[in-house]
Amino acid sequence: MASPLLPSLLAGLAATALWTASIVIYRIYFHPLSSIPGPPLAAATRLYAFYYNIIKGGTFYLEIERLHKIYGPVVRIAPNEVHLSDPSNYDKIYSIGGKFYKDSVFYSGTGDEYSAFATISNEDHRRRRAPLESFFSRRAVLDLEGVVRDKVAKLCALVQDGINKQQGRAVVDLHAALRAVSMDVITEYAFDSCWDQLDQKDLGEWFSEMGRNVGVSFWVFQQFPFLLGAMKALPVWVARRLGPAMSDMLDCQDRGRRLVEEISRNVEKGLKPRRRTIFHNLLDPEVKVSAAHPRPSVEHMVGEAFAILTAASDTTGNAMTVAAYHVITDPKVYGKLKAELAEVDDGEMSFTRLERLPYLTGVVKEGLRLAYGVIGRLPRVVPQGGATFNGFHLPEGTVVGMSSYLMHRNPDAFPNPALFEPERWINTDPEASRAMKACLVPFSRGSRGCIGQNLAMCEMYLALGTLFRRIPNLAAQDVGELTYVDYFTAHHGEERQKLKVFRQPS
């Protein structure tokens, strides 16, 4: 005999199917974005993006490139989201004091409510970013350049020592070592408490692994926000058992929390610090305590600290690695760089001196270009009144984004875009130079652009300049073609893509 529940079950299923079908039909044919070109499946569901981000492992940025080839410069990539490829649109969206704000659905995947990076409204963001600005200004970076130089000296010793120990055999994982430089710089620079990853056996690889795993969950939480809520509700001891990445992340946050609490206590007692940290800036009573600018909570500062660490480490480490990889694997590039660096006295290796070297500058810019920074889209919400791009009007509330991956591979600005060519930046005619400048956006632009770019540039010039000045005959094990996956920051796809270096017989 049939169950008495069967008719109700069937009715429920039919209602759900009807409801889903009507949503899909609405999105494809009647939605305000229905006239925007793009695949119907992407118009129907965000699962299209999820499929490439999770099932196809961080490759939605490649799918977006494919869609632009088919549909043109304006493509609907999700029910309420459009992606643009024409570089002339970039400054309309990512501008100083601009009205486009961050997309809450996309950035909710970070699970972070406190940092300037994850803040949605531009007004709140201005308030949260203000106390950090002076800390990362060019002046501040020049004042603390010694921190970067110390870590770079350590890197050179490590590479030299590793090579010597093995009589010239490949032992040093330069990718991990360069990421460790970024971590050691940012922890000492911002917290006055260096994590000394250059001294650790695995060169702090765990942090990058954690970043990659956090990147995977970034896509999952965007799609299934209730999972984030459930995870946050878990007792810490249970969360720790979810896996090493979660446990590493919690350890990281605990370490940040201890630093914040210690500094807060010292500020309360009026103790003068040996050197100001970002927490001193955040707690600075003169600037912040008012109704409009309340003193940040411990959780806020831990969130800010964690965001700064993750924003500073892989991005800078990857850009240096990509540059180093191309120098080491291309004898012509290596030869030109060595010749230029040989003209600089070892005692003169300062950021401002190295910045004036045209070939090294080309190497740094090509490293930034082909490492992409944040490789995928940076989605923003169209403000009141809507916006028009390439003749398509997007109503207020539409999510719109662009990606460094497409900007940096724009063939009009960068002929043969896949090639690492420092020369393209030297003695270029003004028009070509303008086009390249307009398309080079590793740090994004405008009020929501990278706060750490002066520091990143200082690291890149000093690390690459000093390494290749001091060790002029490095070679690399075959790492194959460098490929990327998008877990918000770019990660290399395969385990074998470690940049292991050894010395060539001279």
10-29 residues labelled b (16+ CB within 10 A) or e (exposed) = eeeeeeeeeeeeeebeebbe
Choose the binding region for ligand HEM from 247-255, 303-311, 324-332, 389-397 (rule: CB under 6 A). Answer: 303-311
Q: Which of residues 174-213 bind ligand HEM (CB under 6 A)?
A: 186
Closest to 502 measured CA to CA, from 480, 466, 483, 478: 478
Residue of 79, 376, 452, 465 that binds ligand HEM (CB under 6 A): 452
Does 400 participate in binding ligand HEM (rule CB under 6 A)? no
How many Cβ atoms sit within 10 Å of the Cβ of residue 501?
A: 25
Structure tokens belonging to residue 484:
């990327």
Contact yes or no for 490/375 (Cβ under 8 A): yes
Three-state secondary structure call for residue 220: helix
Q: Which is nearer to ligand HEM, 105 or 455 (CB)?
A: 455
Does 443 participate in binding ligand HEM (rule CB under 6 A)? yes
Residue of 152, 319, 323, 364 that binds ligand HEM (CB under 6 A): 319
Residue of 311, 341, 370, 490 that binds ligand HEM (CB under 6 A): 311
Closest separation between CB of residue 307 and ligand HEM, Å?
Answer: 6
Q: Which is nearer to ligand HEM, 151 or 448 (CB)?
A: 448
Closest separation between CB of residue 353 and ligand HEM, Å?
Answer: 20
# residues near ligand HEM by CB under 6 A: 26
Does 450 participate in binding ligand HEM (rule CB under 6 A)? yes
Residue of 448, 491, 492, 498 that binds ligand HEM (CB under 6 A): 448
Q: Supply the Cα-derived Rg of the chain in whole angstroms.
A: 24
Choose the binding region for ligand HEM from 290-298, 310-318, 381-389, 393-401 (rule: CB under 6 A). Answer: 310-318
DSSP state of 158: H
Q: Which is nearer to ligand HEM, 287 or 339 (CB)?
A: 287
Contact yes or no for 77/49 (Cβ under 8 A): yes
Angle at 491 between CA 489 and CA 496, to 5 degrees: 170
Closest separation between CB of residue 166 and ligand HEM, Å?
Answer: 30
Does 302 participate in binding ligand HEM (rule CB under 6 A)? no
Q: Which is nearer to ligand HEM, 122 or 264 (CB)?
A: 122
Structure tokens belonging to residue 72:
């043109």
Does 451 participate in binding ligand HEM (rule CB under 6 A)? yes
Contact yes or no for 367/320 (Cβ under 8 A): yes
| 450 among annotated binding-site residues | yes
Does 105 participate in binding ligand HEM (rule CB under 6 A)? no
Closest separation between CB of residue 450 and ligand HEM, Å?
Answer: 3
Structure tokens belonging to residue 314:
């892989």
143-175 residues labelled b (16+ CB within 10 A) or e (exposed) = ebbebbbebbebbbebbeebbeeeeeebebbbb
Structure tokens belonging to residue 379:
């989605």
Three-state secondary structure call for residue 486: strand
Helix-strand-coil split of the chain, %, nearest 5: 60, 10, 35
**List of residues contacting ligand HEM (CB under 6 A):** 116-117, 129, 136, 186, 307-308, 311-312, 315-316, 319, 368, 373-374, 378, 442-444, 448-452, 455-456
